[in-house]
Amino acid sequence: MNHQTRMILVEGVPFTGKSTTSEYVATQLDLNGYPAHWVSEGMLLQHYFPHAGAVIDRQQTLSETVLRAEWSTFVETALAAATIFVVDSALSYAAVDPLLMEDWPVEAIHAELRRIAELCLPLQPRVIHLMGDVERLVPASIVERGEGWRSHLVRQADAAPYQQARGRSGLAGVTSLLHDSQALLDAVLAHGDWPTLTLDVTAQDWAAHRRAILAFLGLDEVAVERPALARSVLQSYVGTYTTDDPERSDKVLSVRLEQDTLGLHGADMYYGTLVPVSATRFHLQASPLDIEFVVEEGLARRLTLLRSDGKAHGYWRA
C-alpha cells in the first residue's frame, strides 16, 4: 500500500458493485493496519455534496461555484483526517453525472475534471473503476432491486436537460444515459493522471475482482469472521415491520429468508442482504446501516435501523 495515498475512489455507473467494493476495500484496509473511513454513496451526497445530489435529483440547477466549493471542502476534510478516505462514486455522482445531466459540452466537463484532479493531488488518490455492458446491467439491476428501482432510474433520467435535448425517455433513455456517462468517465480516467484499476464487472467474477483490487492496493486479504446462525434463528426474524416515523419514506419493511441468508425489502424495492454481526444484530451489506432485532419468546417483535451517523429508526412487527 502506498503510504502517501489518502483517498481511494470507487467509480462506475449504478449496479456495477461500487458500494459493495468500496465497503470491502475500507474493511480490508482496516484489517491490514491502515485506518479507513468509508464514505458511502448516501453519505457522500448528504454530507459532502448536497448541491451535486440536488442537481441529479433536479431540485436545483448547477452552480459551478457551489460545486467547486463542495469539492474544496471535501478535499480539505480528507487531508485533515487521520484515516484513508474510501469513497463511493465521488467522481461519478459529484462531477460527471451532474455536469453531463446539465448538458455541459464534453470539453467543459473534461476541463472541470482536470481542475478536480489538481485539487485532489495532495491526497494522491487511486481509482478503482468498475464498468460493464450497460445493456445487460440495467435490466439485471431491475430484476434484483424491483420496480421501485426502475421508477427511480426513469424519473431521474427523464428530468435531465441532457436527455430532454436528445428526445430520450423511459428505460431505453436510461440505458443510453448510463452508456454515455460510463464512456465519459472512462475517457476522463484514461487520459488523466489518476492511477486507475479498470475492471469489467459484467460477468460478476467477484473473487477475481477482489484479487485484482488487493494487488492494485498492495494488500493481503484478511478473512472476516461472521457468526453462523441456524436457519431456525434466521426464521425468527422473518416478517413484516411497520413504522409511523415521519422521517421515513419506507413505512413498511419486510425481512425474508432467501436460501441461508436474510434479505431486506421495501414496498417495491430490494435493499440487500443482511449479514450477521451477532445473534440479533445484522449489517445491511453495502450500506452504512445496521439492524438490531428485539426477540421475545423466540420471535422478533421489533427492529431498529441504526445509521452510521447515530440516528435510529424503530419498526414494529405488523
Q: How far apart are CA 243 and CA 254, in angstroms?
A: 12
CATH 3.40.50.300 assigned to 7-217 = yes
Rounded Cα gap, residues 255 and 238, in angstroms: 5
Q: What is the mean pLDDT of the segment spanning 277-296? A: 96
Helix orientation angle between 147-158 and 170-190, rounded to the nearest 10 degrees: 70
Q: How confident is the model at residue 209 (pLDDT cuts 50, 70, 90)?
A: very high
Q: What is the pLDDT of residue 253?
A: 97
pLDDT of residue 105: 96
Any idea which fold 231-317 has?
Answer: Lipocalin (2.40.128)
Q: Tally Cβ neighbours within 10 Å of residue 61.
A: 10
CA distances to 36, 69, 85, 309 from 5, in Å: 11, 22, 9, 25
| Residue 88: strand, helix, or coil | strand
Q: What is the mean pLDDT of the chain?
A: 95
**pTM of the prediction?**
0.95
| 117 grid coordinates | 484532479
CA 57 from centre of chain:
16
Domains of the chain by residue range: 7-217, 231-317
Q: Which three cell numbers stand for residue 203?
A: 460477468
CB 229, CB 244: distance < 8 Å: no
Distance CA 53, CA 283 (A): 25
Dihedral sign, Cα of residue 57, residue 59, residue 64, residue 66: negative
In a 10 Å sphere around its CB, with 0-12 CB exposed, 13-18 middle and 19+ buried, how is residue 264 labelled? buried
Q: What long-range pairs does 271-279 form, CB within 8 A, spacing at least 24? A: 275/226, 276/226, 276/227, 276/228, 276/229, 277/226, 277/227, 278/227, 279/227, 279/229, 279/233
pLDDT per residue as tens digits for the range 14-48: 999 999 999 999 999 999 999 999 999 999 999 99
Q: What is the dihedral of CA 59, 65, 69, 71, to 10 degrees?
A: 80
pLDDT tens-place string over residues 128-172: 999 999 999 999 999 999 999 999 999 999 999 999 999 999 999
Confidence grade of residue 2 (pLDDT, cut at 50, 70, 90): confident
